[in-house]
Amino acid sequence: MLKLPLAVAGLAVAAGCWLVGLFFLTFPAWWALLTHVLPTPTAVSKLCRPGGLCTTLPGSIHTAPNPHVLVTIDGIGTVNLAQHQLVLLPLGAALLLAAPWLTRAVTGADRSLIRRLLGPASLADRVRALQETRARAVDDSAARLRGIERDLHDGTQAQLVALAMKLGLAKEKLSTTAPADMARATQLVDDAHRGAIEAIADLRVLARGIHPPVLDNGLADALATLAARSALPVELVTDIPERPSAAIETIAYFSAAELLTNAAKHSGARHVTLEAVHVPGLLRIRVSDDGNGGARPVPRGGLRGLADRVRTVDGRLDISSPPGGPTVVTVELPSHA
Amino acid sequence: MRIVIAEDAAVIRAGLAEILADRGHEVVAAVGDAGALQAAVADCKPDAAVVDVRMPPGYTDEGLRAAIAIRRDHPAVGILMFSQYVETRYAADLLAARPGGIGYLLKDRVANVAEFTDAIARVAAGGTALDPEVVVGLLNASRHASALGALTAREHDVLALMAEGRSNTAIADRLAVSGRAVEKHISNIFSKLGLPPSNSDHRRVLAVLAYLGT
C-alpha cells in the first residue's frame, strides 16, 4: 500500500529533474527553433498532433520579436524565457547534475521500506540465537555428566574394588595363624591403607572439578586459590564489591581455571595476570600472559567450548593473541544469568 | 592353572593378579584392551581368561565381543566376564553362543576372594558361574512367569542357585539342608518346568535358562 505512491512520486521527481534540466540546458536551441519556425509573433495555446488530435494547454506560449518567448500559465502568470536565458542555462545544467542525487534521495525512501518489509525482524533473530545456545548448553551438560560418570567409574570405583580385593585377601590370611600369612596380611593391609588415601585425594580433585567448595565464599577467594595452585606465578587483581549470581560465579571460575591452564600449558609465558572486576551489571574476567601468543579458537577446542558456554548466558569472549604475544583473553558476563 | 587377565583399570588388574597368584595360578598375560586380549589368548592358550566387559577404545562392550570371538575360536578356554553393572543382555549373548565354560560376575563379587576363585575354577572346568544379580535379571526377563509361580519358595531358591551354576553340594551348603533334600527339590523343579533331569552342572543351567526363554 505504501509502495505505490512512493514509486509514483519517485518516478515523477526523477523524470521531472531530467526533463526540465535537459530543457533548460538546451533552451537556446529551442529558442532559435521557435523564432525560425514561428517568425512572426505567434500564440500557441493548443498543441496538435498529426491526425488532428489537439490538446489545449493550460496557458499559452507566445513568440514575439526582439526576442520574446512568453510562457503564460493560467493562474500563475507570465514569464519571458528569452530574458532569463543566462539564468536558465546554468539552472538547467545544475538540475541535470543534481538529478542523480535527487533521484537517489527519493528512491532511498523506497529502499528502506523494502528492507523493513522483507528482511528478518530482530525478534526472530534473537529467538534463533537463543535456540542455538540452548541446544549447545544441553549438549554441554550431557557431556559433562558422562564425563563425571567415567571419572567415577575409572577412578573412585576402580580404587575401591582394588581396596576390597586386598582387604578380602588380608581377611583370609588373618583367619589362619601361620607366621608367613601374618606377614602377608600386614603387607596387604598396608597396601590397602595407601590405596584408600590415594582414593580420597583423587575423589577430592574430582569433586572440585564439579563444584569447588571455596566458591561458596565468593569469587575473589576462589580465584585466589586458583592463582596459588597455578604452575606459573599469577598476579591477581580483583574488584568485586557485590557478588554476581551463583551461576555466573561458577562460569567465571571455570573460565578463569581453563584460561590459566592454557597459559601454563601452551603459551610459554613467565608471568600471568588474572583480573576480575564487577561493575553494576557486568563481570569482566581478564587473563593476560607474556607468552608466545597465537591462541585461536579451533573447532572442538577448549576456547571454542569456553566461548559457547559464555554465550549461553549472553556473555562475550574476546581473544587478542598476535603471534609473538602477548595474549589477552577477556570474558564478559552479565551479573545475573 | 594358566590365566589371562583383561582389564583396563591398572589397580584392578594388579589386584586380580595378586589374588590369582595367591591361589597358585599362573597369570600368563595381563592386558588392557580387547585386541591385546585376543592376541594373548591365541599366543598363550590359557585355561581361562578373566575379562572386563567395558574396555578401550569405545568403553561399551569390547570385552564382550572379544569373549564371544574367543569362545568361537578357542573353545577350550573358559571365560569369566566381569562388569561394574548388570547387563542382562550381555549375559544372554554369552550364553547363547555355546554351552559351558562361561561366567559373568559383578565387580563387587570380585571382592569376595573365595567366590571369585571358586567361579574361575568352575569356568575353567567347563561349568557356569553366573552372578546372582544376573540370574535375577534373567529370571525377571523370563516369559514363563506363570510356571515360576508354581514353584515353592524353597524351590525358587534352589532354582536360582542352580541357574548360577552351583553344584548340588554347594546348594546344600548354602541353604543349610541335606544333599538329598536338594536332589528332591531339583527333580520337582524339573518336572514342574517340564524339563528332563540332567546330571552335568552346566547342562542344568542351560536347561533352566533355555526354558526360561533366554
* Number of Cα atoms under 13 Å in the Cβ half of residue A175: 6
Q: Are residues A221 and A192 in the same domain?
A: no
- Interface check B114 vs A, CB under 8 A: yes
Cβ burial of A56 (10 Å; 0-12, 13-18, 19+) is: exposed
- DSSP conformation class of A176: S
How confident is the model over B61-107, as pLDDT tens digits?
888 889 989 988 888 899 999 887 777 777 777 777 666 888 999 88
Instruction: Please report the pLDDT score of residue B214 as a whole number.
Output: 46
Domain around A29: 3-118
Contact B50, B4 (CB under 8 A): yes
| CATH code for position A295 | 3.30.565.10
Instruction: Please report the pLDDT score of residue B160 as a whole number.
Output: 85
Q: Using CB atoms, which residue from B12, B18, B59 is nearest to A161? A: B12
Domain boundary, last residue among A65, A100, A118: A118
Q: Using CB atoms, which residue from A150, A162, A171 is nearest to B15? A: A162
Cell numbers found for residue B18: 595378586
Percent of chain B residues past pLDDT 90, beyond the cut: 39
Instruction: Tell me the three state secondary structure of residue B46.
Output: coil
Q: Using CB atoms, which residue from A153, A168, A172 is nearest to B84? A: A153
| Pick among B7, B113, B116, B118 to test the A interface (most A CBs inside 10 A) | B113
CA distance A13 to A19: 10
d(CA A188, nearest CA chain B) in Å: 10
Mean pLDDT for chain B overall: 85
Q: Are residues A25 and A91 in the same domain?
A: yes
d(CA A137, nearest CA chain B) in Å: 24
- Does the structure's ipTM exceed the value 0.95? no
pTM of the predicted model as reported, rounded to 2 decimal places: 0.63
Q: Are residues A323 and A263 in the same domain?
A: yes
Nearest chain B alpha carbon to A173: B22
What are the φ and ψ backbone dihedral angles of B200, each rounded to 5 degrees?
A: -70, 140
Neighbours of B117 (CB within 10 A): 17
CA distance B2 to A64: 132
Domain boundary, last residue among A195, A210, A225: A210
CA distance A200 to B161: 37
Q: Are residues A33 and A50 in the same domain?
A: yes
In terms of average pLDDT, the best of A98-107, A292-301, B22-31, B197-206 is B22-31
Contact A294, A281 (CB under 8 A): no
Q: Using CB atoms, which residue from B9, B22, B111 is nearest to A158? A: B9
**Residues whose CB falls within 8 Å of the CB of residue A139, separated by 6 or more in sequence, listed in order:** none
Cell numbers found for residue A223: 580465584
Q: Are residues A218 and A327 in the same domain?
A: yes
Q: Using CB atoms, which residue from B11, B22, B111 is nearest to A158? A: B11
Sign of the torsion angle spanned by Cα atoms B185, B187, B192, B198: positive
Nearest chain A alpha carbon to B21: A169
Contact B122, B1 (CB under 8 A): no
Question: Where is B6: in which H helix or E strand?
Answer: strand B2-6
CA distance A251 to A167: 42
Number of domains in chain A: 3
Instruction: Please report the pLDDT score of residue B189 as a whole number.
Output: 84
Instruction: Please report the pLDDT score of residue A67 as a whole number.
Output: 55
- Interface check B108 vs A, CB under 8 A: yes
Strand A327-334 relative to strand B2-6: parallel, antiparallel, unpaired?
unpaired
d(CA A168, nearest CA chain B) in Å: 6
Interface contact flag, B111 A161, Cβ < 8 Å? yes
Cell numbers found for residue A106: 527519493
CA distance B47 to A250: 54
* Number of Cα atoms under 13 Å in the Cβ half of residue A21: 15
Domain boundary, last residue among A118, A146, A175: A118
Domains of chain B: which residue ranges? 2-131, 142-211
Whether B178 has a pLDDT exceeding 80, the answer reads: yes
Which residues from chain B sit within 8 angstroms of residue A167, using beta carbons? 111
Identify the residue whose cell numbers are 528332563.
Answer: B196
Q: Using CB atoms, which residue from B11, B108, B110 is nearest to A159? A: B11
Interface contact flag, B108 A162, Cβ < 8 Å? no
Q: What is the DSSP string of A276-321?
A: EEEETTEEEEEEEE-S-------TTSHHHHHHHHHHTTT-EEEEE-
CA distance B18 to A337: 53
First to last CA, chain A: 43
Kindly report the CATH number that applies to the domain delimited by B142-211: 1.10.10.10
Instruction: Please report the pLDDT score of residue A39 as a whole number.
Output: 56
d(CA B5, nearest CA chain A) in Å: 14
Q: Are residues A253 and A282 in the same domain?
A: yes
**Cβ pairs bridging A and B (under 8 Å):** 48
Closest CA to B19 of A157, A173, A155, A195: A173
Instruction: Please report the pLDDT score of residue A65 as a whole number.
Output: 57
| Pick among B8, B11, B106 to test the A interface (most A CBs inside 10 A) | B11
Q: Are residues A220 and A328 in the same domain?
A: yes
Whether B212 has a pLDDT exceeding 90, the answer reads: no
Kindly report the CATH number that applies to the domain delimited by B2-131: 3.40.50.2300
Q: Using CB atoms, which residue from A154, A164, A195 is nearest to B111? A: A164
Which residues from chain B sit within 8 angstroms of residue A171, using beta carbons? 113
- Interface check B55 vs A, CB under 8 A: no
Nearest chain B alpha carbon to A181: B22
- Interface check B107 vs A, CB under 8 A: yes
Q: Are residues A11 and A100 in the same domain?
A: yes
Interface contact flag, B113 A169, Cβ < 8 Å? yes
Interface contact flag, B11 A172, Cβ < 8 Å? no
Percent of chain B as helix, strand, coil, to the nearest 5:
55, 15, 30
Interface contact flag, B59 A157, Cβ < 8 Å? no
CA distance A117 to A112: 9
pLDDT per residue, tens digit, chain A (337 aa), is 667 777 777 777 777 777 877 777 776 677 667 666 665 556 666 666 666 667 676 666 665 555 566 666 666 677 776 666 667 677 777 777 877 787 777 777 777 766 666 666 688 888 888 888 888 888 888 988 988 988 898 889 999 999 999 999 999 899 887 888 888 999 999 999 999 999 999 999 999 888 888 999 999 999 999 999 888 899 999 999 999 999 999 999 999 999 999 898 888 889 999 999 999 999 999 999 998 888 888 887 888 889 988 988 889 999 999 988 799 999 999 998 7
Interface contact flag, A166 B14, Cβ < 8 Å? no
Contact A257, A211 (CB under 8 A): no
Q: Are residues A196 and A249 in the same domain?
A: no
Q: Are residues A309 and A327 in the same domain?
A: yes
